[in-house]
């Protein structure tokens, strides 16, 4: 399954619902383009919902980091929601758990911005 | 006289084009081999993931997507182990020259994590050179009980 990305706005936060695989190629470039597009439109509070992401390779992890940097450099915040165990494990292995703010409850995530 | 314990059994041995399609195919092939050997779902995911990352490195960094270069993926079962070998036709790889992806100053780097994850998911990983000077990545995972 390739990556499907949909966005919805709750207050001043944009939630990016991702589903499928974020891997080198189409998946990672689609994610990158979505985040850049949101930043270019002036959005500064972005919550990435990874609950339906079944697989993310090291390139996809790189795109998460790149997105985080892009949003931060624009004066905004990008946070993560609903990690699967596998994505959680990858963030532990790569120490990115120390970088990202991660939530498993959407309401709490929204309130944190 | 050779026996099943000492003679590696070739499970897969293919030369792949330096394309992203080969990356997907290698992951699927590795998962198929792992399932056949009796690894559980999580171990199968780890093996498929490690092979995918190794082939990405070979395609992207080793062969730089060259249409004239191939990636060799070989999987074999030897005494107690699944062994996977990925070879490219690039100019070789010096791991000591790679930035530590876990160093604080590198945490926000976009790339450089593949090998770290391969090491986390496999039991043994060894990087060397092919006779032609390309990179040979050899990784092993102990077979499941009864495998």
Nearest to A27 by CA among A47, A3, A48, A50: A3
Whole-model pTM: value is: 0.94
- The answer to whether position B3 is within a domain reads no
What range does the domain containing B14 cover?
A: 9-142
- The answer to whether position B15 is within a domain reads yes
- The answer to whether position B87 is within a domain reads yes
Pick among A28, A57, A62, A63 to test the B interface (most B CBs inside 10 A): A57
Question: pLDDT tens, B64-117?
Answer: 999 999 999 999 999 899 999 999 999 998 888 889 999 999 999 999 999 999
Q: How far is A53 from chain B (nearest CA, A)?
A: 14
Residues of B in contact with A85 (CB under 8 A): none
- The answer to whether position B4 is within a domain reads no
Residue A110: CB atoms within 10 Å: 18
- The answer to whether position B100 is within a domain reads yes
Give the count of domains, chain B. Answer: 1
Domains of chain A listed by start with CATH number? 4-107 (3.30.750.24)
Q: How far is B107 from chain A (nearest CA, A)?
A: 7
- The answer to whether position B84 is within a domain reads yes
- The answer to whether position B36 is within a domain reads yes
Question: pLDDT tens, A55-109?
Answer: 999 999 999 999 999 999 999 999 999 999 999 999 999 999 999 999 999 999 9
Q: Rounded mean pLDDT of chain B?
A: 93
- The answer to whether position B1 is within a domain reads no
For chain A, the farthest-separated pair of C-alpha atoms sits apart, in whole angstroms, at 34
Nearest to B119 by CA among A58, A47, A34, A65: A58
Does the CB of A93 have a partner CB in chain B at under 8 Å?
yes
* Helix, strand, coil percent values for chain B (each to nearest 5): 35, 25, 35
Q: What CATH number corresponds to the domain at position B19?
A: 3.30.565.10
Is residue A14 a contact partner of residue A43, using CB atoms and an 8 Å limit?
Answer: yes
Give the alpha-carbon dihedral of A25, A88, A93, B36, to 10 degrees.
Answer: -70
Neighbouring residues of B88: CB distance < 8 A, sequence distance ≥ 6 = B18, B57, B58, B59, B62, B63, B69, B71, B130, B134, B135
Q: What are phi and psi of B25, to 5 degrees?
A: -65, -40
Residue B139: CB atoms within 10 Å: 23
Name the token pair of A93. 């292995």
């Amino acid at each position: 399954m390739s990556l499907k990305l949909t966005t919805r706005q709750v207050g001043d936060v944009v939630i990016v619902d991702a589903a499928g695989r974020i891997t080198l190629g189409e998946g990672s470039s689609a994610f990158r383009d979505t985040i850049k597009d949101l930043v270019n439109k002036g959005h500064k509070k972005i919550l990435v919902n990874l609950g339906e992401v079944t697989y993310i390779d090291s390139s996809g992890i790189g795109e998460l980091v790149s997105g985080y940097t892009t949003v931060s450099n624009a004066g905004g915040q990008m946070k993560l929601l609903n990690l699967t165990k596998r994505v959680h494990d990858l963030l532990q292995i790569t120490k990115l758990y120390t970088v990202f703010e991660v939530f498993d409850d959407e309401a709490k995530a929204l309130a944190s911005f | 006289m050779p026996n099943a314990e000492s003679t590696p059994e070739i499970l897969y041995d293919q030369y792949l084009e330096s394309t992203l399609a080969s990356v997907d195919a290698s992951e699927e092939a590795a998962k198929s081999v792992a399932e056949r050997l009796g690894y559980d779902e999580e171990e199968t995911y780890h093996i498929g993931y490690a092979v995918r990352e190794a082939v990405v490195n070979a395609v992207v960094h080793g062969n730089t997507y060259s249409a004239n270069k191939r990636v060799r993926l070989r999987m074999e079962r030897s005494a107690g182990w699944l062994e996977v070998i990925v070879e490219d036709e690039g100019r070789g790889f010096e791991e000591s020259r790679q930035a530590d992806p876990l160093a604080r100053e590198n945490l926000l780097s976009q790339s450089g994590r593949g090998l770290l994850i391969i090491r986390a998911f496999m039991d043994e990983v060894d990087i060397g050179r092919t006779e032609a000077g390309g990179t040979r990545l050899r990784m092993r995972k102990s077979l499941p009980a009864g495998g």
